[in-house]
Structure 1
Amino acid sequence: MKLEVEFNGLILNGFLALFVILTGLGISAYWTYLGTIYSLGISVAGGILLFVACLFCLGGFIRQEPNEARVMMFFGSYEGTFKQVGFYWVNPFINGKKLSLRARNLDVEPIKVNDKQGNPIMIGLVLVWKLSDTYKAMFEIDAQTMAQTTQAHSNVNMIMRAFENFVKIQSDAALRQTAGQYAYDANESDDALTLRGGGDEINKQLEAKLDERLAMAGIEIVEARINYLAYAPEIAAVMLRRQQADAIIAAREKIVEGAVSMVKMAIDKITENDVVELDDDKKAAMVSNLMVVLCGEDNAQPVVNTGTLNM
């Protein structure tokens, strides 16, 4: 549930308020001058009080850029969030904590986790996030403690770094949770979803887990994607040999399949065109020779038989 509300307190145009305050400063100076010349204590006191009030009102000016917000606090009470862009004046007693609503990138360094099969892998992600609920962001998590500074609530850069640290820790936990549910790669007979082949589906599940973890802080995940995936160094060489073996087996299967079809086509053509009469023994010998030629890695050395077909 969104807890953020719009600020409905007194808001004046900043330039109009500046004109009024400058006018008040001029009037206070004039009253003080008259009181000094004519020895009027009331005029001097009024001028001084007006001067102090005008100086105090100077603390009510705020300047806000696009995609920025201020959480307005009146003596510890949340009065709403101010998001209007421009130059304004508000009650100087209201303390506005500035936040950035702009999208931010976070590149999470690869971490070592175990996949579903127990294999150690290295996995990293990149995500885009932004604040969506300023109330939750300021009051549901302790940004001041995370930033490790007493100025965290007054400096927008420190506050956003605190949020970034919170997002980094939660994304690390979500990444470990997601990686532990799937295998790095599937076996030949297994069509299950894997980290390597899952693609967009794995990324969507990762986004869902991140949204679930970061909703409490009023943070929205715009996009999250796995940008690094590899076996851990201690098993990388072994897994590479396994992948190479799988590739060789797959290539051999393709070669044998093609060779069998070519041998069958050759025998059928010879029989169909009555090139030569082949009995079972000659067909077996021919099949053996053709399979050796077609499946062998080295070039075959032809032997020309100028006599009989008998071997």
Structure 2
Amino acid sequence: MRVAVVAGGAALPPGRPAGDTAPLSPARLRGAAGQDPDAASPGLDIPHPADDEAARRRGIVAQAVARGMPEDPADDTPDPPRTGPARGISVTDVPVHLPFLGEPRPAPDTTGPAAGPRRTEPAPAPRPTPRPAPGRRVPRGDDRLHEHHGPVLPGWVGVGVGALALAGCLAVLWRAGVVPAAFVAAFGATPRAYHGLRATHWPPLAFLGIVALLALGGLGRGKAGHAWVLTLFGRYRGTVRRTGLTWVSPLLLRRRVDVRLRHWRSDPMPAVDAGGLALQVVVQVVWQVKDTARATLAVADHTEYLAEQVESAMARVLSQLPADAFHEDAPTLRDAEAVGDALTRMLACETEAVGIEVYSAQPTRIEYAPEVAEAMRRRRVAAIDAKHRDTVLTSIVDAVDDTVHRLTSRGLVELDDYERKALVKDLTVAFYTGRPE
């Protein structure tokens, strides 16, 4: 779709709107200039009014054709010759979307015959569903179970409320005359005669007694390095790490947990190396309870769980390397630092689900089992002796080569092949037999 915009040397007539794009008929030109429609305008070639009527009919026919309607067969009036634009006026075609920059540009029509066969885009291939990485699953525990602060008050609150409740009970008993006269006189009060406990005395006594029982029964002593895990009818209610005199509701069940930094040394545990040789290992673990809720409620006994995980992790780590490499330079279990780092990482990952933080897990002793210890000792001695002999022989050969080279290079002796071999043999025997044991 195109819009005709008039531009040129002649200005638009006064009174014509800027957005009016209708053709300028002679009548409109004369009306815009303020002249009589029947008067002739100088300088312009204005057609006869019959021409305007013919132009109007042509516009009606063009609109009918554009809408798919047939032309009027009764209209046999010959079309007058078309006239060009007025002198001094130029017409320029401007795309229709330019005046409306804020609106999206209409997409070109690609369904017509001139557009050719429409290109079909291939559908994107579906993405493969990610699968979990193969390997052993690490326990994660209950994500909803995390340590948070439990309901606790300073101890002086419980002491004060309990004292006031006991004082109220004493006042009720004094009014009933139950308190002995000697005790009342000690406080400077007037003793009252005992007439028995009436029905009006029992409700305040019961209420004040319950308050005193709750206030004094909830007092506790928080120790440094320990925490209380609070539960109510099996539901976790929070953890109290406050020290000193505290008050916790006596309706809550308390379980004390040690949160200090602790170490655990295992007994000699059986294991095997990469070659299948039986070993005995002693491991020392430094650990601490980080999440008291998980350590208490996520497992039956967190210390027993730690001991079992230490044995399991140690068996997996030690089975990846040989205990000794007698005749080659290769990583072995004698590298205590590397073995300890691997054991610490694996054990920390295993115990995170129960709220235990492992700082260090180091093997303090790795030795062969008694049934293979003697055979491995002989093998180790033989390997050490072979390595020593190889070192000694290398030094002797270097000494003999240096001696023969010096004798011949300085011209002290002249040797042929037979004499050179005999001299090398004699020097080797002399150096080898004369070495210190």
| TM-score of the two chains, using structure 2 as the length reference | 0.59
Match of 1:28 among 145, 162, 169: 169
Structure 1 residue 49: Cα displacement: 3.4
Equivalent in the alignment of 1:251: 388
Matched, 1:169 2:302: no
Seen in structure 2, the aligned counterparts of structure 1 residues 86 and 185 have a Cα distance that, compared at 3 Å, is same
Residue matched to 1:140? 298
Name the amino acid aligned to 1:291.
T
Tell me which of 182, 186, 195 is aligned to 2:333: 195
Return the alpha-carbon distance in structure 1 between the equivalents of residues 414 and 391 of structure 2: 30
> Counterpart of 2:237?
79
Aligned equivalent of 2:146: 4
- Matched residue SS, 1:127: strand
1:293 CA displacement? 2.2
1:124 aligns with 2:282: yes
Paired with 2:202 and 2:270, the residues of 1 have a C-alpha distance of 74
Between 1:267-276 and 1:85-94, the stretch displaced more is 267-276
Answering whether residue 342 of structure 2 is matched by residue 205 of structure 1, we say yes
- Hey, what's the Cα distance between the residues in 2 that align with 1:82 and 1:141? 20
Alignment of 1:101-116 (within 5 A): 101-116=259-274
Could you tell me how far apart the structure 1 residues matched to 2:394 and 2:172 are?
Answer: 106
The within-5 A match list for 1:6-85 is: 6-9=148-151, 11-36=152-177, 37=192, 39=195, 41=198, 42-43=200-201, 45-85=203-243
SS at structure 2 position matched to 1:109: coil
Residue among 181, 185, 191 paired with 2:324: 185
How many angstroms apart in 1 are the aligned matches of 2:207 and 2:227? 33
1:217–1:72 Cα change, 3 Å: same
CA contact (8 A) 2:230 2:236 kept: yes
The count of aligned residue pairs is 278
Are 1:122 and 1:232, in contact at CA under 8 Å, matched by a contact in 2? yes
Q: CA deviation at 1:44?
A: 5.4
Is the alpha carbon distance of 1:182 and 1:92 closer, same or farther for their aligned partners in structure 2, counting shifts above 3 Å? same
Q: Unaligned regions of 5+ residues in structure 2, if any?
A: 1-142, 178-191
Distance 1:8 1:45, change over 3 A: same
The residue identity in structure 2 corresponding to 1:185 is: D
Matched, 1:234 2:371: yes
Q: Name structure 1 gaps, 5 residues minimum.
A: 144-162, 301-311
Question: How far did 1:54 drift?
Answer: 0.3
Structure 1 residues 214-233: aligned runs within 5 Å: 214-233=351-370
Overall identity of the aligned pairs, in %: 25
Q: Which amino acid aligns with 1:3?
A: L
Task: Assess if the C-alpha contact under 8 Å between 1:32 and 1:45 holds in 2.
Answer: no
Alpha-carbon distance in 1 for matches of 2:436, 2:145: 76
Structure showing greater relative contact order (alpha-carbon pairs closer than 8 Å, 6 or more residues apart): 1
SS at match of 2:387: helix
Aligned-partner Cα distance in 2 for 1:27–1:43: 12
The structure with the greater share of residues assigned to strand is 1
**1:59-114 residue CA offsets vs partner (Å, 9 max, x unmatched):** 11122122321112123221111212222112221222111111222111112222
Q: What is the TM-score with the length of structure 1 in the denominator?
A: 0.81
With 218-227 and 272-281 compared, the bigger mean Cα shift is at 272-281
Distance, in Å, in 2 between the alignment partners of 1:282 and 1:242 is 41
> 1:271 Cα shift?
2.3
More helix by share: 1
CA RMSD of aligned residues (A): 2.4
2:156 match: secondary structure: helix
- Asked if structure 1 preserves the Cα contact closer than 8 Å seen for 2:158 and 2:218, the reply is no
Q: 1:261 to 1:109 in 2, by over 3 A?
A: same
Q: Which has the larger radius of gyration?
A: 2
Please point out which of 247, 270, 285 is paired with 2:422. Answer: 285
Do 1:107 and 1:127's aligned partners in 2 also have CA atoms closer than 8 Å?
A: yes
Whether the 8 Å contact between 1:30 and 1:47 is mirrored in structure 2 is no
Contact 1:4–1:81, Cα closer than 8 Å, also in 2: no
Structure-2 separation of matches of 1:282 and 1:133: 83
Given that residues 326 and 380 in structure 2 are in contact (C-alpha distance below 8 angstroms), is that contact kept between their aligned partners in structure 1? no
Q: Quick one: distance in 1 between partners of 2:147 and 2:318? A: 38
Question: Structure 1 CA distance, aligned partners of 2:384 and 2:326?
Answer: 12
Partners in 2 of 1:76 and 1:298 — Cα distance?
Answer: 80
Inter-partner Cα distance in structure 1 for 2:418 and 2:326: 40
